[in-house]
Amino acid sequence: MNLFRKKPIQLLMKESGAKGASLRKELGAFDLTMLGIGAIIGTGIFVLTGVAAAEHAGPALVLSFVLSGLACVFAALCYAEFASTVPVSGSAYTYSYATFGELIAWILGWDLILEYGVASSAVAVGWSGYFQGLLSGFGIELPKALTSAYDPAKGTFIDLPAIIIVLFITFLLNLGAKKSARFNAVIVAIKVAVVLLFLAVGVWYVKPENWTPFMPYGFSGVATGAATVFFAYIGFDAVSTAAEEVRNPQRDMPIGIIVSLLVCTLLYIAVSLVLTGIVPYEQLNVKNPVAFALNYIHQDWVAGFISLGAIAGITTVLLVMMYGQTRLFYAISRDGLLPKVFARISPTRQVPYVNTWLTGAAVAVFAGIIPLNKLAELTNIGTLFAFITVSIGVLVLRKTQPDLKRAFRVPFVPVVPILAVLFCGYLVLQLPAMTWIGFVSWLLIGLVIYFIYGRKHSELNEMARTEEKAG
């Protein structure tokens, strides 16, 4: 059995267009751009900015965002080429199947399951915290036992708000991609308006002296800050999981991926400049730096809107992460590497309904019962691993299939893909050893599953057996 058998791109395209088994094509460039912004702007901009400025980068936080943004832009161009060339569900997993073969594809798919699954659970817990804070502002307090994950010492047993929001998002995803995209667009508009409100109010209180010393921790601090705030960019790759549901993927996928990333990068740079200009960086080591900055300049009325923006931001991140997870399960299951139940499509709404509810149930359990703490760090290493693989994949496919029709082509090949690998590789080396240990452990579990189940049930394996019998 060939562990590195590749899935022909023609076969991938044929499967995605199969009658009765394919997803409904109803998304456009605007929907994809809003999905990208929905996935990117969330807890990163409202939470991570303060810690990264206070502990790592100081006012040079803006350079940390530029460094992380560059890594993502280079990777995004590579994603855009693949998404326009192979517009099929599965994102980096599918691209790897066509480029590197089955085993590498499985490893990457298993890696993305970690990224989307853990991120969804962690984001749901974050949403719960902000929501409870909003309720307490109105004098409403939930019973202590229902406010957080299982911890008898603290008197908490289940995080009920986290479970409720996950089940609501699961219900919404089952209504179809277009309805989910409309809901996402409305919430994205709210959170972008809140970010712009912060900039419009805060810019008048900026004191340039707060930007000196500009780089108090040196460039190594900027680099560590970049690795920390990289979490704020996670999510644009989830746009590529929507490829099979886009009306004109060759044109719209590159637009959605690149425009959403550029918009978010500009907003991040502007927020970090204003934030460190308002408050001396040493004082920003708080959980809610944006709201803290507004309280610092006695603009408390705007701080209330920031809480609303944070809740809206986290809601759309959860929506897009869970959407990406379901489409990833769908693609892997269709290839036979996971049980076929994950690829079952609703005949009326044309969504993978069984897999969506199973995903929702799993995320709800993790978010509601298990304290996640450090697990969220694993999403960083998983995403960087995917970015590196996709960037190398562009170079490999250019060499092995030079005549393949590409609606979007990465400019300055091989420079841009190599820069993506170097930038992402540099950031991944900044992550702590425990994150690496957790990541490798997860991949080993994945390899056991592949050799016990996936290798035997692979669709390519079944096709090879059929050809042998026919021969």
Per-residue pLDDT of the chain (471 residues; tens, 9 = 90+): 588 888 888 888 777 666 555 678 888 999 999 999 998 887 677 777 888 898 889 999 999 999 888 888 898 899 889 888 888 888 889 889 989 999 999 999 998 888 888 888 878 887 887 788 778 777 888 888 887 776 777 777 888 888 999 999 999 999 988 899 999 999 999 989 989 999 999 999 999 999 989 999 999 899 888 877 877 777 777 888 888 888 888 889 899 988 999 999 999 999 999 999 999 999 988 777 888 888 889 887 887 777 788 888 889 989 988 998 999 999 999 999 999 999 898 888 888 999 999 999 999 988 887 765 555 566 778 888 888 999 999 999 999 988 888 888 999 999 999 999 998 898 888 777 888 888 899 999 999 999 999 999 998 888 878 877 776
> Is 347 a domain residue?
yes
> Is 19 a domain residue?
no
> Is 10 a domain residue?
no
> Is 314 a domain residue?
yes
pLDDT value of position 371 = 63
433: amino acid identity, one letter: A
User: Per the omega criterion (within 30 degrees of 0), is the bond before 289 cis?
Assistant: no
> Is 271 a domain residue?
yes
> Is 16 a domain residue?
no
174: amino acid identity, one letter: N
pLDDT value of position 305 = 79
404 near 85, Cβ under 8 Å? yes
Into how many domains does the chain fold?
1
- For CA atoms 292, 294, 300, 301, the dihedral sign is negative
pTM of the model: 0.86
The DSSP secondary-structure symbol of 411 reads T
pLDDT value of position 170 = 95
pLDDT value of position 210 = 94
Domain with 207, as residue range(s), is: 26-463
> Is 195 a domain residue?
yes
pLDDT value of position 172 = 94
Q: What is the CATH number of the domain that holds 308?
A: 1.20.1740.10
pLDDT value of position 19 = 53
Number of other residues whose CB lies within 10 A of the CB of residue 358: 16
What is d(CA 120, CA 382) in angstroms, rounded to the nearest whole number? 14
- Report helix, strand or coil for 80: helix
> Is 255 a domain residue?
yes
404 near 441, Cβ under 8 Å? no
What is d(CA 341, CA 337) in angstroms, rounded to the nearest whole number? 11
What is d(CA 459, CA 149) in angstroms, rounded to the nearest whole number? 40
